[in-house]
Structure 1
Amino acid sequence: MSKRKTPATPSTEAPKLASIFTKKPKTQIPSDDGNQKSWKFVCWNVAGLRACVKKSDFSEVLAEQPDIVFLGETKCKEWPPEVEETFKDYSKTLVVSTEKNGGYAGVGLLSKCAPLKIHKGIGDPDFDSAGRLIIAEYSQFYFMGAYVPNSGAKLVNLEKRGKWEKLLTDKLREMNEKKPVIYGGDLNVAHNEIDLKNPESNRNKTAGFTDQERGWFGEMLEIGFTDSFRKLHPESKKYSFWSYLANSREKDVGWRLDYFVVSDRIMDNVKKSDIMSAVKGSDHAPIVMQLDL
């Protein structure tokens, strides 16, 4: 009578070893060590990040080789896969609105080196529920990115907007005493007549061009800040926002609502501050700034 062979126990070692070699290594994001001297920033109100990635592959943004990318009005609860892949070498922080199940406002920060600290919000629940602001501390500066509240149709939110501006200016003053500040994003104001196509028909009638909003912006500059684009391009009529109505973009009937505002003491270090007007994907164009410290 022949011996019955015991079935061999399947080995689990090979699959384990195979998984080690097939698993993609996780990208290591370097920390800010204070040695970097030149920084490139891009801010873009994407008007809904999931919609934007269907229209744009961010190639024009990446061509600038930005160190920090701030995205406003993201309207999403998590990063779309396209952004995860495109910016795989960046640290990522998303500030999600608690309104409309995350599909409202919101901002995000992408950074080639990890900030020392991240702070979310302006410190008031009236605004922080919308996820409008992020502050990243680096060795040599603070970066603050914002999607500023709109004063609304018929200026119904103008008083609330004033509350935001007071909180914002106080925060800028506090940070500026410690380190230089770069403040960027959709600031929802055309500061001067040169900053929109039709100043007379919009003055004190349209959100973004009231005496109050323009005054608040001016008061913010007076505490030690400079509008970098206007400083470098004092006579330029260039816009960053165009309504989707009446072929406004094709006719260049626009507004300059997006800014890089910097501490006065580093303005001379700003080598470039411009609007990437040709980039499509949103009703806003990205803005770009280079700072050499």
Structure 2
Amino acid sequence: MRVLGAYVPSRDATLEKTERKKRWIEDFHTALDATKSSVPVLLLGDLNVLEPDHQPEHRRQFAPFEYDFYRALTDRHGLIDAFRHLHPDRIEHSRARRSDLGYRYDHAHSCAQLLPLLQGCDYVHQTRDVLADGSRLTDHSGLAVRLATTATTPLLTSDPATTAPCEPEPTLF
């Protein structure tokens, strides 16, 4: 399985940041197309875009190219929104300035091959809780994805500090 992490740049109304985001999206599509293989893919990240039917609607904040990017994950790359697959009607937000202004920016998209193994895809909102000192870890919720998988090959583990040169490639475990 390939697990891909992505942070799509945010933007404001300036031409510079809008063009930066458009270039990033174009480069992302090119890279994903170039590395396409039969290996199952799970894409995770802060995509800084909402699904087209997001509630509440934030239509004026997002441009058509941003919604096109979201749709292209499925239409072009065959990746399905894992949260929406398991929870077709649930309204949940991974970032909120106020309780009535939530955004689901953080996503997990899976190839169809992994969907039968998908056991859960849920937001962990405690990551945005305010701590005793007034700080918080982040303004985004975490996203937990659970897959029922079985290793097909054993993971070689070693201590990189003590591995001899003739041993298998060292790992950090």
Q: Tell me which residue corresponds to 1:282.
A: 138
Identity of aligned pairs, percent?
A: 26
Q: How does 1:121-132 map to 2 (within 5 A)?
A: none
State whether residues 176 and 263 of structure 1, in contact with CA within 8 Å, keep that contact through their aligned partners in structure 2: no
Q: Tell me which residue corresponds to 1:271.
A: 119
Supply the distance in 1 between the matched residues of 2:82 and 2:34 (Cα, whole angstroms): 20
Supply the distance in 1 between the matched residues of 2:7 and 2:66 (Cα, whole angstroms): 15
Q: Tell me which residue corresponds to 2:29.
A: 169
Supply the distance in 2 between the matched residues of 1:235 and 1:167 (Cα, whole angstroms): 32
Q: 1:240 to 1:155 in 2, by over 3 A?
A: farther
- Could you list the per-position Cα deviations for residues 36-71 of structure 1 after superposition, in whole angstroms to 9, with x for gaps in the alignment? xxxxxxxxxxxxxxxxxxxxxxxxxxxxxxxxxxxx
**2:72 maps to 1:216:** no
State whether residues 273 and 289 of structure 1, in contact with CA within 8 Å, keep that contact through their aligned partners in structure 2: yes
Supply the distance in 1 between the matched residues of 2:9 and 2:78 (Cα, whole angstroms): 23
2:109 pairs with 261, 265, 281, which one?
261
Q: 1:175 to 1:163 in 2, by over 3 A?
A: same
**Structure 1 residue 155, shift from structure 2 partner:** 6.2
Q: Tell me which residue corresponds to 2:95.
A: 241
**Aligned AA (1:241):** R
TM-score normalised to structure 2 length: 0.73
**Structure 1 residue 254, shift from structure 2 partner:** 0.6
State whether residues 240 and 277 of structure 1, in contact with CA within 8 Å, keep that contact through their aligned partners in structure 2: yes
Q: Tell me which residue corresponds to 1:102.
A: none
- Could you list the per-position Cα deviations for residues 213-265 of structure 1 after superposition, in whole angstroms to 9, with x for gaps in the alignment? 0111211211211110011111111000112xxxx1xx242100001111122
**Aligned AA (2:37):** E
Q: Tell me which residue corresponds to 2:40.
A: 180
Supply the distance in 2 between the matched residues of 1:162 and 1:218 (Cα, whole angstroms): 15
- Could you list the per-position Cα deviations for residues 60-96 of structure 1 after superposition, in whole angstroms to 9, with x for gaps in the alignment? xxxxxxxxxxxxxxxxxxxxxxxxxxxxxxxxxxxxx
Q: SS where residue 192 of structure 1 aligns?
A: coil
**Structure 1 residue 150, shift from structure 2 partner:** 0.8
State whether residues 225 and 262 of structure 1, in contact with CA within 8 Å, keep that contact through their aligned partners in structure 2: yes
Q: SS where residue 193 of structure 1 aligns?
A: coil
State whether residues 229 and 260 of structure 1, in contact with CA within 8 Å, keep that contact through their aligned partners in structure 2: yes
Q: 1:284 to 1:189 in 2, by over 3 A?
A: same
**Structure 1 residue 156, shift from structure 2 partner:** 4.6
Q: 1:155 to 1:232 in 2, by over 3 A?
A: farther
- Could you list the per-position Cα deviations for residues 137-165 of structure 1 after superposition, in whole angstroms to 9, with x for gaps in the alignment? xxxx1111111111224565222212211
Q: 1:153 to 1:183 in 2, by over 3 A?
A: same
**2:10 maps to 1:157:** no
> Which structure would you say has the larger Rg?
1
State whether residues 142 and 175 of structure 1, in contact with CA within 8 Å, keep that contact through their aligned partners in structure 2: no
State whether residues 7 and 46 of structure 2, in contact with CA within 8 Å, keep that contact through their aligned partners in structure 1: yes
Supply the distance in 2 between the matched residues of 1:275 and 1:162 (Cα, whole angstroms): 27
Which blocks of at least 5 consecutive residues in structure 2 are unaligned?
130-136, 150-173
**2:144 maps to 1:291:** no
Q: Tell me which residue corresponds to 1:15.
A: none
